[in-house]
Homo-oligomer: A and B are copies of this chain.
Amino acid sequence: MREQLLMTPGPTPVPQEIQAVIAEPIIHHRTPEFKEIFKQVTNDLKDVFKTDNDCLLFASSGTGAMEASVVNVLSPGDKALVVQGGKFGERYYEICKAFGVDVIPLDIEWGTAPDPESIKDILSKNTGVKAVYTELCETSTATVYDIKSIGEVVSTFDAILVVDAISGLGADNLETDTWGVDIAVSGSQKALMLPPGLSLCAVSPKAWRLVKNSKLPKYYYDFNKYKKAKEKDDTPFTPAITLTIGLKKSLEIIKSKGIDNILKECADMAGTVRSAAEDLGMGLFSKAPSNALTGLEMPGGKDASLLIKAMKKRGITVAGGQGELKGKIIRIAHMGGITKKDVAGTIETLRESLKEL
């Protein structure tokens, strides 16, 4: 099998200059050198999240940070609203259930975005909801949610707004502070251009007030431990040292380009994929397509796995559908280290592979 260009929504390709710093001789984490890197990273992340809030780093994949955003703010039996419009909304539902949270699901059709009015409705009818869990980009359906409008709704209630921006951050615009996002969750292997294994939470003062009274059990993901250590540019447990060093380089690249220019590039690449798909007779799966990735329906009900195989043979790895979408759609990422040239090559390969089928 030839070397693959990863056009998948995580992991995305890791640029060589990032690989290079990850491969340097490892340093110890309890040293001034690492503390300096850690300090810079937690500071520079604020530009990407568009926030002044504390950014906490965990050695885990994204799901760990999702769990952290539940166990640190809720108590057993607390009410939480979870938007379920795909696999990652379902994951929040499962996490809440696993920890004994009283979950009120807002089930929406896969491929659609939630209507902020529905959220308002649920919050009005159910007093005492502590938190609203939603996605920025629901990766499984390649759908972007209107967090700005959701934030406006949630801000009129006591509930905090928690947004899973694992695949969305750095591709779909997220204005954490302006939009009133209380916990923004992300992961390393998407637009941050790193291997998986590092996850993030940006936590607002409103969320910290809930942390104070939260009674769900936690240890590894205990926000208070990370906050206390962070005051000394330190971590409570051994951090993902090499990924943190890689993140420093990643954030330098992002800073030099400018986050808004990067968002625009993702939008441009998304537009290119969408118009090419139309041209190829492939329907757009999502009613609110994300700029992080695009989900395309198979023409004539063909099996998506055959198309994925045909593309892989030609050196391009794209993702299939998850859950109920398995075999029905392909998903092409356009974020992080993925370039316009990669997108053009992928479209060409898509064309050839469709012809082969």
List residues of A whose CB falls within 8 A of some B CB.
1, 3-4, 6, 8, 10-11, 13-14, 19-20, 22-23, 25-31, 33, 59-64, 67, 94-95, 98-100, 187, 189, 195-198, 216-220, 222, 237-243, 317, 319
A10, A14, A20, A23, most chain B CB atoms within 10 A: A23
B8 & A26 in contact (Cβ 8 Å cutoff): no
A262 to B84, CA, bound (A): 51
Copies of the protein in its oligomer: 2
A1 to B36, CA, bound (A): 14
CB neighbours of A240 from chain B (8 A): 61, 195-197
B220 & A217 in contact (Cβ 8 Å cutoff): no
Distance to closest chain B CB from A283 (angstroms): 24
**Interface SS of chain A:** loop
B23 & A22 in contact (Cβ 8 Å cutoff): yes
CB neighbours of A189 from chain B (8 A): 238, 241
B241 & A195 in contact (Cβ 8 Å cutoff): yes
A23 & B28 in contact (Cβ 8 Å cutoff): no
A64 & B29 in contact (Cβ 8 Å cutoff): no
Residue in B13, B23, B31, B59 whose beta carbon sits within 8 Å of that of A197 in the complex: B59
Residue in B22, B26, B59, B317 whose beta carbon sits within 8 Å of that of A64 in the complex: B59
6 contacts between A and B (CB under 8 A): A3-B25, A6-B26, A11-B26, A59-B59, A59-B197, A61-B240
CB neighbours of A27 from chain B (8 A): 4, 6
CB neighbours of A243 from chain B (8 A): 197
CB neighbours of A29 from chain B (8 A): 11, 196
Residue in B13, B20, B100, B198 whose beta carbon sits within 8 Å of that of A26 in the complex: B13
Distance to closest chain B CB from A338 (angstroms): 13
Instruction: Name A195's closest neighbour in chain B (CB-CB).
Output: B242
A63 to B6, CA, bound (A): 32
Instruction: Name A166's closest neighbour in chain B (CB-CB).
Output: B238
Instruction: Name A4's closest neighbour in chain B (CB-CB).
Output: B27
Q: Contacts A8-B28, A26-B6, A196-B241; is A99 near B19 (CB within 8 Å)? A: no
A8 to B30, CA, bound (A): 10
A23 to B64, CA, bound (A): 24
CB neighbours of A219 from chain B (8 A): 63, 67, 94-95, 98-99
